[in-house]
Amino acid sequence: VRGVDGPRFREAWADAARRHAILRTAFLWEGDKEPLQVMLRDAPTLLTELDWRGLDDQPARVRQLALEERERDFSLNRAPLLRLLLVRLEDDRYRLIWTYHHILMDGWSVSRLIGEVLRHYSGAEHEPVAAYRDYIDWLGQQVAEASEAFWKGKLSNLEGATHLARALSVKAPQAGYHAIYTHLSAGQTARLQAFAQQQQVTLNTLVQAAWLLLLQRYTGQRTVTFGATVSGRPETLNGSENMLGLFINTLPVVNSVPTEVSVGDWLRDIQAYNLDIRDFQQTPLSDIQRWAGQGGQSLFDSIIVFENQPVDRTLREWNGDSLRFEDVSDFGLTSFAMDLMVSLDEGLRIEYMHQRDQFDLATVEILRSHMESLMQRLCDDAGRAVGELGLLTLDEGRALDGELPVVAEGDETPVHELIRQRARLQPEHTALVLSYAERDAEHLSYAELDRRSDALAVHLLEQGVQAEDVIGVFMERSLELVVSLLAVMKCGAAYVPLDPQYPQERLRYMMADSDMRLLLTQERLRDSAQLNPGTAMVAVDRLNLDVDVAAPSCAVHAEQLAYLIYTSGSTGKPKSVAVAHGPLSMHVQAISELYEMDPGNRELHFMSFAFDGAHERWITALISGSTLVIRDNTLWTAEQTLAVLHRQRISVACFPPAYLLQLAEHAELQGGDPPPVRIYCFGGDAVPDATFERVKHTLKPQYLVNGYGPTETVVTPLLWKIAADGHCQAMYAPIGQRVGTRSLHVLDMDLNPLPVGMIGELYIGGRGVARGYHRHPWQSAERFVADPFSAEGGRLYRTGDLVRRREDGVFDYVGRIDHQVKVRGFRIELGEIEARLREQAGVNDALVVVRDNGQGPQLVGYVVATQDDGLGPRCQAALRESLPDYMVPTQVVVLPRFPLTPNGKFDRKALPDPAFSGRDYVAPRTPLEWALADIWQQVLGIEKVGITDNFFELGGDSLRTLKVISKVRALNEPGFQLKLRDMMAKPTIAGLSGVDEQPVRQSPQPLLLLNQPVGDQPALFCLHAGFGTVFDYEPLARRLDGERTVYGVQCRMLLDRQWHDTSLAQMAADYVEAIRARQPQGPYHVLGWSLGGALALLVSDLFEQQGQRVAFVGLVDSFVPTQANAVASADEWRVDLAEFLGAALGMDGEVIARALSSESAGDFDAVARIIRAVIDSQSDQASGYALLGADELAQTFMVSTRLKALSRQVETLPIPQAGLHCWWADGNPTAERATLECQQPRLRKVQVVTAGHFDILQRDECLSAVVAALGLEMVPEF
């Protein structure tokens, strides 16, 4: 600033404070229903002047001063809540630093205040001032019921929250915030404005439309929402434009992004929505979120602020007197992960302010380019369908897949010809072995296999079999089964395998549906095979096939039918997938190369021949010259299978994940060397990470392979092969990369290509696609669609599977589109609940299904365990700790094993039906319980609270806890007192009322949930500090809300006055037991501030002693035993109590010192009297914790003295194997850091934070750094 007249400038601000009560406002809370807004009569001093003329390095000093001002807290109970520093740098040059709390005013008010101050400075007349209390009165006249009805209508289509950050993975999370910008030129902006005007909408609406479209494409949700900041100034309230105060509000913009609607019509719909919500723009967002039916969770993590009166423009355009403003900068943050600030000056400008622990810079740069592209493309054609606007063009989508390999000569040679070539190369090499569980039977060489299949092919041709005739193969597992399959292909026909164990009705349907020409069977099955009288039958085992015949010379072309495989169909009837020779040959040759198959390999063939994977395996083994060992017709136990793997020296084996897990479990029990298997292949179901790890560690193969693919895309179009020392790094094993000459596309709901890293439906094209459903063209047209990326008019198969493509081209399976269910209005991914059930002690596997009990859909969990012993209810109780209530199954059924289909996959239809019994709302039983329920409903903003509902699961926190305590005291209920420790230890109304009080004494539960549970990441456990409480971690828990569950580990001496801890080591052991009850297996994440740091080290060391992995150990200004803190001083309790009261009550040091001087001892009664005197002396200045009362605070202090005494028993702390992340407060210089580092721990991060010991966990610098460090330990969400 130049040309400042100091006295005039100071008087201009003082005049503003006299005119506007909001500048003289403080906020007090003394236990009333709501905090009070208090206006002081006398205007406080707002402006402080500093003279820095002649000082060196002025720019750095000013920057540091601005940073310190930004970091300085405001005490809400002390006015003013704004500060002005006028720093004189030269005679005519100043720097003005203005800091204010957002509770006072919004951006519009700031611009008006600056304008008014400048007008007073220049001597201009004042405009009349309207009082902010007029707005408060107006708010009180609004009808809440009308707002609720309006917003419930607007939210009716909302299926779930829109969290942009969760749709994108963060590769390198960092602390703090960052902003990048869109700057459109004047010409580009004019084009957008002209188009908006033509469509009769505002530019704001056009920007909102582009963001809605971007959110829909990024998240895959048809209905999306973001927050729009509105002015909040009522048009019907006189003078509202001239008021100073906080009017702005953030409201949800909810929109179901259409497919067929034109761009112009859609824009006008959005504009109409924005006009509608103006009448109810004063509605608090917290109420709207509650009415949304989403459990009170946040509805969005992105907002758009359209700034129509920027402060910097007001200052730049000022022309009065000699006063001139030059460079202007501001800094403001929201709690949202992504904040778009839109302003219009010479051109459109968008600021993308984002949390760096939520978004990588590279990701935001890509997002910005998509936003800019969408804004421009929306204006290309108002008549274009909205669904045609994707994030990428077709060419960009085509480029993602890369060039398809060229189909070389011989790549599609029919497989029976390739097997014949092997027979000529290695005629005496063993091709087939039939293995029984306890012994081995006959075998065939390649020459014998070739000769017998030739003989059968000739016989079939003699029976009149022609090209593409369908030949059924109805046989038990045997050598002639493979001979028959090969013979059918040699005569140009197509086989369809029929499992004799299938129900007769299904087999009869398959025979008729396929138009079967002939049925090959075995003599012992002839009677059961006569299902269709019109189908001829041949018993292959009655034929003499061991004869030399001329090889059949049937020419087979690439598009000719090779086989049919029946899969389950949505209509209830199985569908026949038709696979041609060319794609089949291409596929098995590519698989052979990936598996490194050669004549030295021996593969166990375990799967049912009715499963398409079985045909990949027998064909691949034989074209590679390997030996195929076929399981006999019985389903072996895990023990029998392990014996065969040893006896037969098997090198390749493929099993369904559930069966392979059984093998691993049995091998653990059996002990000894694992089988000599080189590759284990999973197939048929998604592979949980726990299964992958257990197989890897127990069976010890060289490689693990996860094959993925629908039957319609020729067995396994994607494959993930990894060495045994690799990791999934996800909830499920990746499904890999493309196999052979296929194309893979991740598309959005409207079939537009999606960029790398985004979740969409997988479409598969290229050569690896089936011909369709045999003789069912309508079904084929539904699933096999035209390939827009193909220049040759190819087809794509829509899989119905959600995937994400990584940068390296590997795909991750996310889930089924149809595996999401809706229960009680919530969209639920069943896999998340299954993963939580698998974490529980004693649970080997889990499934969750939806069943209807006549009162709507209910979730039912099924777990596999060796013992029941009340496991079902225990699982439900554990899930209630980590999942929202609507995701907890109404029943958990314990089974010894899951029922399996003949293919070895889970048979969901065979799961036993549960006996439903409701676990719903439990009503209060006594007047006290009714009163408590009413208080909880008021404080939590919930319509109905039952006596078994958990206060903290319903959204309770420390502030709401204090409100409950305050309201309970106002009841004056005889004989009932509510303490903070009661709320922590018994957070249900039934527990607090004492109606069900049991005489049996139990250990208090130390874990306290501090934020909303998150299902896809391990929790963070925060160990209590020297006061025993965990509320100091609430700012961190809020920052991690939606990213990671945070539990506080409380001191049990606070929860139960009779509890007596004897040592920190004993406490750590108990805490480990409590944590493992909540999370039975690692990786564990622990953090501790002050004494909590020492406990975190003790706990981590115990975890590692128990064989568990500790992924994160965070120490925040940790206590470390040193010579300096090992001995107590005489009057130490006085210093400690002064620090305690200063931190807990926020009172002046002089007030505390006067009260301390009145007592000579530090026992409980004396401490209580001191605290009571401090509170009584300045009750209006005490923080909310004063509501706990002197006795409760005294008990907390006495616990802290006990904990300090226990800490002095520890001479040195253990150093865990895990690396340490350390944050130290620069305002608390001690020898603790040096002492710790002398023990040479593995330090992953050391950072000094500008903070004191007691406020370090409130500093953004520390919080952002902790969140970023935790982000590096996140399991990628796939």
Measured distance CA(35)–CA(30) in Å, rounded: 7
Average pLDDT over residues 34-48: 82
Place of tokens 């973001």: 226
Only one residue has tokens 């406490």, namely 1067
Q: What residue spans of 812-859 are helical by DSSP H? A: 830-838
How, if at all, do strands 811-816 and 795-805 pair? antiparallel
Residue 921's pLDDT band (cuts 50, 70, 90): confident
Would you say domain 824-910 falls under CATH 1.10.8.50? no
Nearest to 1260 by CA among 1, 72, 14, 6: 72
Q: What percent of the chain has pLDDT over 90?
A: 40
Tell me: pLDDT of 821 over 80. no
* Residue-wise pLDDT tens digits, 1144-1155: 666 666 777 777
SS3 category, 551: coil
Here the tokens at position 888 are 């907890």
Q: In this structure, what are the phi and psi dihedrals at residue 680, rounded to the nearest 5 degrees?
A: -105, 135
How confident is the model over 1129-1138, as a mean pLDDT?
A: 77
pLDDT of residue 414 exceeding 70:
yes
pLDDT for 999: 43
Lowest mean pLDDT among 486-490, 890-894, 978-982: 978-982
- Is the pLDDT reported for residue 205 higher than 90? yes
Reduce the secondary structure of 1030-1072 to three states and give it as a string: CHHHHHHHHHCCCCCCEEEECCHHHHCCCCCCCCHHHHHHHHH
Nearest to 102 by CA among 127, 59, 70: 70
Report the candidate in 905, 847, 909, 908 with the shortest Cα–Cα distance to residue 654: 905
pLDDT tens digits, 1101-1127: 999 888 888 999 999 999 999 877 777
> In angstroms, rounded to a whole number, what is the distance separating the alpha carbons of residues 210 and 391?
11
Q: Which two tokens stand for residue 367?
A: 């997002």
Please give the pLDDT value at position 397.
83
Higher pLDDT, 346 or 571: 346
Question: How much is the pLDDT for 32?
Answer: 45
pLDDT band at 614 (very low <50, low <70, confident <90, very high): very high
pLDDT band for 1057, please (50, 70, 90 cuts): confident
pLDDT at 474 over 50: yes
Whole-number Å distance between alpha carbons of 336 and 228: 12
Q: Which of 447-456, 545-554, 757-766 has the highest mean pLDDT?
A: 447-456
The amino acid at 991: G
Q: pLDDT tier at 389 (50, 70, 90 boundaries)?
A: very high
Report which of residues 519 and 1199 the model is more confident about: 519
Asked if pLDDT for residue 822 goes beyond 60, the answer is no
pLDDT higher than 70, residue 111: yes
CATH entry 1.20.1050.10 includes domain 6-104: no
Residue 826 has pLDDT above 50, yes or no: no
- In DSSP terms, 705 is beta-bridged to 681, 721
Regarding the domain with residue range 415-703, which homologous superfamily does it belong to in the CATH classification? ANL, N-terminal domain (3.40.50.12780)
Query: Sign of dihedral through CA atoms 496, 502, 506, 512?
Result: positive
CA-closest candidate to residue 268, choices 340, 198, 214, 371? 198
**Sheet bearing 703-708, strands edge to edge:** 440-445, 430-435, 627-631, 602-605, 652-655, 679-682, 703-708, 718-723, 737-738
The residue-averaged pLDDT of 343-356 equals: 90
Question: What integer pLDDT is reported at residue 308 of this predicted model?
Answer: 67
Asked if pLDDT for residue 651 goes beyond 90, the answer is yes
Q: What is the mean pLDDT of residues 19-45?
A: 78
DSSP conformational letter for 222: S
Q: Is the pLDDT of residue 622 over 80?
A: yes
pLDDT at position 457: 97
Q: How far is CA 1123 from CA 509, 851, 1092, in A?
A: 85, 64, 19
Is residue 459 within 8 Å of residue 480, measured between CB atoms? no
CATH superfamily for 160-318+330-389 is Nonribosomal peptide synthetase, condensation domain (3.30.559.30)
d(CA 400, CA 423): 41
311: Cα within 13 Å, side-chain hemisphere:
16
CA distances, 936 to each of 788, 951, 976 (Å): 57, 8, 16
Residue 1082 confidence (pLDDT) above 90: no
DSSP tally for the chain: helices H, then strands E = 39, 44
Give me the architecture of the 1004-1125+1210-1278 domain, per CATH: 3-Layer(aba) Sandwich (3.40)
Q: Among 206-220, 266-280, 895-909, where is mean pLDDT lowest?
A: 895-909
Say what the pLDDT of residue 548 is.
Answer: 93
Average pLDDT on 164-189 reads: 87
Residue 177, pLDDT score: 84
**Based on C-alpha coordinates, what's the Rg of the chain?**
36
Question: Which range among 566-570, 880-884, 997-1001, 1166-1170 shows the weakest confidence by mean pLDDT?
Answer: 997-1001
Fold assignment, 933-1000: 1.10.1200
Q: What is the pLDDT of residues 960-998, one digit of tens each?
A: 777 788 778 777 777 787 876 677 667 788 888 877 654
pLDDT score for 824 = 47
Provide the mean pLDDT of the chain. Answer: 85
C-beta of residue 859 within 8 angstroms of C-beta of residue 848: yes
Q: What's the CA gap between 678 and 705, in Å, rounded?
A: 11
Q: What is the pLDDT averaged over residues 1046-1050?
A: 94
Which element (helix H / strand E) includes 117?
helix 107-121
Section 615-640 average pLDDT: 94
Q: How far apart are CA 290 and CA 675, in angstroms?
A: 57
Mean of pLDDT values over 1036-1045: 85
Taking 80 as the threshold, does the pLDDT of residue 674 lie above it?
A: yes
Distances (CA, A) of 478 to 436, 606, 1263: 10, 12, 65
pLDDT at 1099 over 90: yes
CB-based contact 256:216 (threshold 8 Å): no
- Closest C-alpha to 86, from 11, 15, 21: 11
Angle (nearest 5°) at CA 859 between 1078 and 892: 50
pLDDT interval class at 1000 (50, 70, 90): very low
Reported confidence tier of residue 882, pLDDT bands at 50, 70, 90:
low
- Those residues whose C-beta lies under 8 Å from the C-beta of residue 1191, and which sit 6 or more positions away, are 1168
pLDDT interval class at 814 (50, 70, 90): confident
Is residue 209 within 8 Å of residue 216, measured between CB atoms?
A: no
Question: Which residues are CB-neighbours of 1132 under 8 A, at least 6 positions away?
Answer: none
Confidence (pLDDT) at 1277? 39
3-state secondary structure 743-792: EEEEECCCCCECCCCCEEEEEEEECCCCCEECCCHHHHHHHEEECCCCCC
Question: What pLDDT, on the 0 to 100 scale, is given for residue 1179?
Answer: 53
H helix intervals, 199-243: 203-219
Answer yes or no: is pLDDT of 709 > 60: yes
Q: Which residues contact 58 (CB under 8 A, 6 or more apart)?
A: 52, 89
> Could you give the CA distance from residue 10 to residue 14 in angstroms, rounded to a whole number?
6
Bridge partners, residue 168, by sequence: none
Residue 904 in this model has a pLDDT that exceeds 70: no
Q: Which of the pair, 962 or 611, is modelled with greater confidence?
A: 611
pLDDT at 304: 95
Please report the pLDDT score of residue 1072 as a whole number.
Answer: 93
Give the pLDDT score at 563. Answer: 98
